[in-house]
Structure 1
Amino acid sequence: METAGVTEELKACDPMRWVGLMNTLKAQAEEIIQDELIYK
């Protein structure tokens, strides 16, 4: 997650941006799981 810029420092300095990045990462992970495990 640090490669995506999601760090504890960002969480402390800009929590709204941190939440947005976490939501994006979660959505990407769910999409990969659906594509590779459910729809194959």
Structure 2
Amino acid sequence: MGLQILGKPRREDDLLSFAALLEEHFDVRDLLSIDPREAS
């Protein structure tokens, strides 16, 4: 499962800050990133 978040134009700093907060809140910071080529 993945999550797509959108931000306001030219506000990448806010978007990345929010993404970091989500990673911390859901305790997924140390998990590997999603590999779309990996078969389930």
Task: Sort the TM-score into its range (normalised by shorter chain).
Answer: 0.3 to 0.5
| Greater length-normalized contact order (CA 8 Å, ≥ 6 residues apart) | 2
TM-score, scaled to structure 2 = 0.47
Higher helix share: 1
TM-score by length of 1: 0.47
